[in-house]
Amino acid sequence: QKEVEQNSGPLSVPEGAIASLNCTYSDRGSQSFFWYRQYSGKSPELIMSIYSNGDKEDGRFTAQLNKASQYVSLLIRDSQPSDSATYLCAVNSPGAQKLVFGQGTRLTINP
């Protein structure tokens, strides 16, 4: 069983709509959660970090964390074609300075 699971997509969203990306994790001891964006042929880029239950907003991005249900999500408001990328969810491995990555969700924003 995978430790961090994401729907691989592709997820197709019209321009201007809200894109919703979801991630579940298996280790209840995890305390740190990250979203990375990866454009085709490029390296992963950190876009959001969240450590506490609830919502964290940064511009058009909102990360949501629910530790009881073991899921973390990323909302992208007013989606733009430039948001088309693969989004990776990463969760810390308790007791070690390591991250476990999901396989990523490929998001396409249609003009």
Partner 1 sequence: DAGITQSPRHKVTETGTPVTLRCHQTENHRYMYWYRQDPGHGLRLIHYSYGVKDTDKGEVSDGYSVSRSKTEDFLLTLESATSSQTSVYFCAVAPGQGNGQPQHFGDGTRLSIL
**Binding residues for partner 1 (CB under 8 A):** 31-32, 34, 42-46, 49, 51, 88, 90, 92, 94-99, 101-104
Under a CB-based contact definition with an 8 Å cutoff, are residues 70 and 102 in contact? no
- Least separation in angstroms between residue 13's CB and partner 1 is 22
Nearer to partner 1, 43 or 69 (CB): 43
Q: How far is it, in rounded angstroms, from Cα 63 to Cα 20?
A: 10
Nearer to partner 1, 85 or 90 (CB): 90
Instruction: Count CB-CB contacts under 10 A for residue 34.
Output: 20
- Least separation in angstroms between residue 43's CB and partner 1 is 4
Nearer to partner 1, 51 or 55 (CB): 51
- Least separation in angstroms between residue 100's CB and partner 1 is 8
**What tokens were used for 10?**
């592709």
Candidates 1, 85, 14, 12; CA nearest to 44 is 85
Q: Which amino acid is at 99?
A: L
Under a CB-based contact definition with an 8 Å cutoff, are residues 6 and 90 in contact? no
- Least separation in angstroms between residue 36's CB and partner 1 is 8
Nearer to partner 1, 49 or 110 (CB): 49
